[in-house]
Structure 1
Amino acid sequence: MQGANNPIHTEEQREHELLALSYYQHPEIVAAREEVRAFWLQHAAPSATMRSCFDWAFEEVMFGATVWALNQDPLYPRVITISRLPHRLAGESIPGSRWGIDNPDSIYRVIPVNHEYRYLIRGRVAQQRLVENYFTLWGPEMQTLGLLDGKDLVVDSQGHFEITVDASAADGRRNHIQVPPGSHEFYIRDVIANWGSDRANELAIELLEPKPPRPPFGEAENLGRIKTYMQHWAESTTRWNRQAMDGPVNAFEFTIDRDSDGALRNQIYIMGYFHLPDAGTAMVLDINLGGADYFIAPITNIWGTTNEITDRSGCLNRHQSRANPDGTYTFVLSLRDPGVHNWLDPSDLDEGILTLRWAEFAENRPGADLGVRQRLVALDRLQQELRGDHHWLQPGERQQQLAERAQSYAWRLEE
């Protein structure tokens, strides 16, 4: 396991990303990508705005599919981080791998499992315990089959823990996850609410079996699975986004099913498609937390990735935002800088998708006042529209805010 400043930068992760890069450059995968590219552009029929961000987002989604597809062998499981930003590794440029309406706060890791085998997950919690951390057991269609809340982990005095994983009931074992038939993989989320000081948990996986009955998957099988994943990623992304885009524009009415399609139990997701009519118009969003300890508002494009999230404020969580005196939050989404602290910057795109997330509720249930109220206003009338106590930035504060933001994220990309 990796300690120190970047717990996800393990030898296993480094080897896997370089392996994924070699497969990504394989002639069969290059040709398959072009087929998916043509299919997706025709299938999604993007606007000019969404077409303008397709090329880079497409590469991230396809590389993300490659990274994920290469960690699907339950006899040779690895703890692999997915949905990362582009970074350097051993002199190579590793593409980004964001996909699936990613949450920039989350470090996502996957581990393949099978109910016929026994496993042991070893780890160490961060010194500053995370606001949210879940070990979700998925079936093959991303349906939730089991769940362990990181807050329920039993750890020793140094923060170390072990999780037993097999088909049997716990029978008194602490930190146990039962794996029923049909189980496919763990999808582990560590939510980094404070980008600067939070760190992911350390994790490692061990297969508790004699010598595996077969060697790891070979090249032909890996190539076939990568092609399948790339096509599936494109189809699934469009299907998910249609849930918002088929509804009224600039409205937030669709609540995601939390037991399918990879959504997390114990969260509320409200999703909407926005379109700003011009650069002089802003969308104002008033958010009531409903007792949630965690909240984030990330902007994504129709290709399923967030946009610019380190050097620009393409997402804001509760820690990064300024609250109103009554505990609510007001955000302004606009193409031009509105001068408020809580600016959701759409990265020069006049349309996109907002997937608002609330989680970690008092008494494990959201309050009746949870919700969002949105309205379009002219930027030159923003001061009249907003409450008088809203935080307006002074000269130089935006640059400072963004510099601190980029610096706080940098550890995740350290080599």
Structure 2
Amino acid sequence: MDEITQKVVDGTAWREFCGMLADAGDVILAEGNPDSPLDRAEGFRMLTRLLRGALESKLEYGRPTEPVLVRACHETVKIVGENPDNHYLGASLDGQYDYRIWGTRGDAKWISFNLFSGAGFGGGGPGTGNTMHEEQMHIEPDGTFELVISQREHPGNWLQSETATRSIAIRQTFLDRPSQRHAELHIERLGADTRTPAPLTAEELYLALIYTGFYIKGVAEIGAGWATRQAQWPNMFTDEAELPETDKFKDPQIKWHQGYFDLAEDEALVVEVTPPDCEYWMIALHNHWMETLDYVHHQATLNCHTAKVDDDGSVRFVIAHRDPGVPNWLDTAGHRRGTVGVRWVGPDVIDVLPSTSLVKVSSLR
């Protein structure tokens, strides 16, 4: 019996995994993080959400020989400033294989396909690899398409992989996600046989648990560390708090800027900007752990379709604890503090940084 199998059989692997979860919990308790009951509860809840998402992706559907598109970021699994207008899909890949993704385009405003080597976001690696965007693709008049992922060139829509390729992330960005038609996408490994999948192995379980433990802690450290650094510049936008480790995982067509809000009950943060000419833009509020606030029950996000834009192209957002009776209110959903992020999305976007002013809510009436 090899060492990994022995660790699974005698319970060592499980105890190591539980120890990694305990270490992840220390991230929530680290100096600089807020210690209010709400902030602490949401911090520990975030760890459980990351746990669910990682196990789904890496244990249940982690075999690159049998890829499955998994939605591991959504209303109850939120990952470092995720976009609530996005429908995220991902799959485990292996660069030695060729894959085909096919289906229908749907009504998304913007679509991207990103390859990653190594463990991906939260687990290290070189960052975003080769990418494909809709303007580079041939899509049939009825909205159907197929995309081949391989190291060797392929006719038609081809996304080049590398030996080290280990995953793909797909973003569909919507103007009104709940009501618009989503893409119907499928993935297969080319040349795969149709035999019933083999039973789980001890090595697969062990590697999935180890990955999950590192991933949870890594993502928690990224979000909490970024927000804590951002809090040094309260109530303003600045890129000073972002580290290269996070910047390198962006899609090349996404420009992202962030601020940290910290508001008393009678205060509001006014955000003013003239969004650049782009395919799509948005603003969203997040908690200290950089999870988007509850956008299902609160107006915690607006975009180029839902926001009121002035005749000159400028827009003013108001972040406040209660509705001040002005357009483009963003609801803090009971949070005194958190982050606010904007995205400008599309090819060759001219970047802009929003300006802010801290005011009394009473002055807005």
TM-score by length of 1: 0.74
Q: Could you say which residue in structure 1 is the equivalent of 2:233?
A: 248
Q: Could you say which residue in structure 1 is the equivalent of 2:111?
A: 133
Q: Structure 1 residue 122: deviation in Å?
A: 1.2
Residues 69-80 of structure 1 aligned to structure 2 (within 5 Å): 69-70=58-59, 71-80=61-70
Q: What are the superposed Cα offsets for residues 41-67 of structure 1, whole Å, 9 maximum, x if unpaired?
A: 233542234225334333223322322
2:147 pairs with 136, 140, 163, which one? Answer: 163
- Following the alignment from structure 1 to structure 2, what is the Cα–Cα distance between the partners of residues 353 and 98? 14
Indicate the larger mover: 135-144 or 326-335: 135-144
Q: 1:205 to 1:243 in 2, by over 3 A?
A: farther
Residues 63-212 of structure 1 aligned to structure 2 (within 5 Å): 63-70=52-59, 71-85=61-75, 96-126=76-106, 128=107, 130-140=108-118, 141-142=120-121, 143-170=127-154, 173-211=155-193
Residues 15-30 of structure 1 aligned to structure 2 (within 5 Å): none
Kindly indicate whether residue 37 of structure 2 is the aligned counterpart of residue 51 of structure 1: no
Consecutive unaligned residues in structure 1, runs of 5 or more: 1-25, 86-95, 384-415
2:293 pairs with 307, 318, 341, which one? Answer: 307
Q: What are the superposed Cα offsets for residues 374-393 of structure 1, whole Å, 9 maximum, x if unpaired?
A: 0011111114xxxxxxxxxx
**What do you get for the CA RMSD once the two structures are aligned?**
2.7
Q: What are the superposed Cα offsets for residues 188-213 of structure 1, whole Å, 9 maximum, x if unpaired?
A: 10012223442321111111134499
Q: Structure 1 residue 104: deviation in Å?
A: 0.5
User: AA paired with 2:339?
Assistant: I
Q: Could you say which residue in structure 1 is the equivalent of 2:251?
A: 264
Q: Could you say which residue in structure 2 is the equivalent of 1:371?
A: 353
Q: Structure 1 residue 82: deviation in Å?
A: 1.4
User: AA paired with 2:210?
Assistant: G
2:26 pairs with 35, 39, 42, which one? Answer: 39
Q: Percent identity?
A: 21
Kindly indicate whether residue 329 of structure 2 is the aligned counterpart of residue 329 of structure 1: no
User: AA paired with 2:314?
Assistant: T
Q: Structure 1 residue 248: deviation in Å?
A: 1.4
Q: 1:357 to 1:258 in 2, by over 3 A?
A: farther
Indicate the larger mover: 256-265 or 149-158: 256-265
- Following the alignment from structure 2 to structure 1, what is the Cα–Cα distance between the partners of residues 253 and 188? 28
- Following the alignment from structure 1 to structure 2, what is the Cα–Cα distance between the partners of residues 61 and 372? 31
- Following the alignment from structure 2 to structure 1, what is the Cα–Cα distance between the partners of residues 322 and 31? 28
Q: Could you say which residue in structure 2 is the equivalent of 1:350?
A: 336
The SS at the match of 1:381 is helix
Indicate the larger mover: 31-40 or 326-335: 31-40
- Following the alignment from structure 1 to structure 2, what is the Cα–Cα distance between the partners of residues 165 and 52? 41
Q: Could you say which residue in structure 1 is the equivalent of 2:6?
A: none
Q: What are the superposed Cα offsets for residues 68-100 of structure 1, whole Å, 9 maximum, x if unpaired?
A: 333432212110011122xxxxxxxxxx22122
- Following the alignment from structure 2 to structure 1, what is the Cα–Cα distance between the partners of residues 320 and 261? 11
Number of residue equivalences: 338
- Following the alignment from structure 2 to structure 1, what is the Cα–Cα distance between the partners of residues 361 and 220? 36
- Following the alignment from structure 1 to structure 2, what is the Cα–Cα distance between the partners of residues 229 and 55? 15
- Following the alignment from structure 1 to structure 2, what is the Cα–Cα distance between the partners of residues 227 and 259? 19
Residues 360-399 of structure 1 aligned to structure 2 (within 5 Å): 360=346, 364-366=348-350, 370-383=352-365
- Following the alignment from structure 2 to structure 1, what is the Cα–Cα distance between the partners of residues 66 and 84? 29
The SS at the match of 1:273 is strand
Consecutive unaligned residues in structure 2, runs of 5 or more: 1-12, 122-126
Q: Structure 1 residue 154: deviation in Å?
A: 1.4
User: AA paired with 1:174?
Assistant: G
- Following the alignment from structure 1 to structure 2, what is the Cα–Cα distance between the partners of residues 328 and 258? 32
User: AA paired with 1:73?
Assistant: R
- Following the alignment from structure 2 to structure 1, what is the Cα–Cα distance between the partners of residues 246 and 150? 22
